[in-house]
Amino acid sequence: MAGHTKVQRFPLFPLFGRNETTALTSMVLTPRVVTPEVVLGNRFQQQSVLKSGWAPCSATPEPFRETPKVESNAFGWPFTRDPGETPSAIWELCQARSVCHENPARTRWILLTRGEQEECIEVIQSLKNPTPYSTEEPFPQVGPAEPVGQDTYLIEECVSNKYTHKSCAKVFCHPWERCVDGKCLCKLPYQCPKNGTLVCSTNGRQFSTYCHLKSYECQRPEAKFLNKGSCVPTETFKISEHKNSSLLQVKPVSMENLFVCGNKWTMNEANVACRHLGFELGAEYYNTLFNITEYTLNASHCFRITCKGLETSLAECFIKRKLRSSSDGFVRLQCQKALRECSADEFTCANAKCISLSKTCDGINDCGDLSDELCCKECRNSSFHCRSNICIPSKNVCNKEVDCLTGEDEAQALCSGKPKRVEYYSMDTERKLTKTFLPQIHCGVVNHTLTRRKRIVGGEIASKGEFPWQVAIKETGTEGATVYCGGVYIGGCWVLTAAHCVRATRVHLYRVWIGLLDTIRYDKETDTYRLKQLIIHENYNAATYENDIALMELKGHGTGECSLKYSTPACIPWSEYMFNTGDKCKVSGWGLEKGYTKQYVLKWGNVNLFHNCSEMYPGRFFQKMACAGTYDGSIDSCKGDSGGPLVCFDAENVAYVWGVVSWGENCGEAGHPGVYTKVASYYDWISHHVTRSLISRYNI
């Protein structure tokens, strides 16, 4: 900007022959906080065009042709309508039973697919007593209309990325998967933990663990989960429909054949059932039907089925035989057999399936690929909103498994004192257990008693152990007490810093100081390391500060190992959605103070993440950069802080290095926040050099 000088956040001496240093001072611009918008009602619009299968109640249907017609039932299996079953006969029957369904938007009569009296009664009953657990797609309810195509819940920019349950920028990968280039890809079976329970697949093969089977299923989709324990040659898991009613029937291994309870059944379960049947897009809709009068359907028991929603077989879900209650109807299912163009009041899933806009951001995986829950400003129906803008079911909160990327759904403050939930065993329980056998890394943990003290606006002197990942970079031959750049310890023998701080030709001169607080006073807990190698990002641009990031490998003492007794690595973020605009983070370093005076002690300050600084720095702020500061410009990084960490904290106070101090205009000036290299954008680059196991906190 005119009238301002672009400031490198390090003393220029190493690169340009000047002996300057930098420090922690002040600054910030008001962040652009996203304001919640007004939420409108249901999105079903009045339509004048009759849908296929619908006709006005006043219209008498023409007789059906007298030749058999092949049709498809709920699962796509063919059946033949008898010539005598005319729409006229069905119309007269249903007229007598008041089948005409009237509401403020439309008066419709349904052309049924079969002529049985029981079928007509079921339809009437489902219209009079719609179940709250049904999608009710064939019988939509009408509410206040929204402007066509508009939605106040979805984040359109995010939606355009087509995130799914395989996008590790938004979700955790399964234990049989790992994150590669932003996608959850399957591991080879031998990479699974060896602890677990024996399971059997649908092709009759036994696997030592559930993880091994799921990994094998990636290569051979026909080998789905069948049952826990050894294979029994005579046993199978069957899903079928009743020959007269089209109701869903399930025959689990070693159990009887029963109908499925409608209570608690959602699109999560419907999608899994259809995938089990070979329909990869999942379910189109389902109905829950009540008061079925046919004697053979008057079952006293039914199966209650609960799924997470991403299973490939219904056998993986929790299945319990229960006494049928008055609130239990039976499930009838329609699988998605083909794609169609979505209407203006529908959401187009990443898999091209169409769902009502009112079904997005409600914690239910209606799309089947989770894309309707991953880009949400807020959530409907009491589902839980994660900071990464995803919606999870309320039942997943405080269930001892982290679903939100930064763990707020399992935060101690939220879950403390809540009664322990009864967890019924299913293969989802086995999946959770498998996660506990995966390698764990220790990072981002500080002394909580120190970080909870009152924070004063402005640079504060750091206490011992408060920033155990902070390192200082010095160069031999320069002024003894001068720290010209900072860095952040990330584990093993590796330190992260800014590319502009270092030169490949000076590797032999650099010294990394660990555990340093005061650059003048000696501390026995401070250690010094030489460098084994320096890796500067191959696309670093010294003119624009793009890709301003570098890795330093320390030369270990004795055996070559780096035993940093008084240090703790900061965690590496793997997703750019972990922290957002307005989040409070910490920046630390030995940079210049206000007035550009040198400082010799490690200082820190609270800063807020800003939405986008491209307007403040036009043509100079790029995609893989982040900016942060304070509203009044009271805290900022400055010369000498370069390469140091900007750390943000998750719900359990675990620290992630969100940014590496890079550049800015002046120091501590409102409207000119500090600019940082966004570390999450370089997760794959870092893991490629230091190995994934060193920095992957959740084995992604």
Between CA 392 and CA 413 the distance in angstroms is 18
- Number of helices (H) and strands (E) in the chain: give both, helices first: 11, 36
Question: H or E element: which one contains 159?
Answer: helix 156-159
CB 551 within 8 A of CB 514: no
The catalytic site residues sit at 500, 548, 642
From residue 665, alpha-carbon distances to 16, 457, 584, 618 in Å are: 19, 21, 21, 12
Count other Cβ atoms within 10 Å, centred on residue 508: 8
CB 509 within 8 A of CB 476: yes
Cα maximum dimension of the chain: 101
CB 174 within 8 A of CB 184: yes
Between CA 510 and CA 390 the distance in angstroms is 44
Question: Which residue type is seen at 69?
Answer: K
Question: Which residue type is seen at 668?
Answer: G
Rg (CA), the chain: 31
- Phi/psi of residue 11, nearest 5 degrees: -65, 135
Question: Which residue type is seen at 673?
Answer: P
**Tally of CA atoms within 13 A in the half-sphere of 392 that contains its CB:** 22
Please give the full DSSP string across 525-590, using - where no structure is assigned: T-EEE-EEEEEE-TT-BTTTTBT--EEEEE--STTS----TT--PPBPP--TTSS-TT-EEEEEES
Residue 475's region, left for phi above 0, alpha for psi from -120 to 50, else beta, is beta
Sign of the dihedral through C-alpha 689, 691, 695, 696: positive
- Phi/psi of residue 501, nearest 5 degrees: -80, -20
Structure tokens at 546: 């793009």
Long-range contacts of 464-469 (CB under 8 A, 24+ apart): 464/517, 464/525, 465/566, 466/604, 467/586, 467/588, 467/602, 467/604, 467/645, 467/647, 468/515, 468/566, 468/567, 468/568, 469/444, 469/567, 469/568, 469/569, 469/570, 469/645, 469/647, 469/655, 469/657
Between CA 366 and CA 268 the distance in angstroms is 7
Between CA 585 and CA 593 the distance in angstroms is 19
The secondary structure of the chain in percent helix, strand, coil, rounded to multiples of 5, reads 15, 25, 60
Between CA 501 and CA 498 the distance in angstroms is 5
What does the DSSP 8-state code read for residue 280?
Answer: T
Q: What is the crossing angle of helices 117-128 and 87-96, to 10°?
A: 50
Between CA 186 and CA 178 the distance in angstroms is 6
Per DSSP, the three-state class of 611 is coil
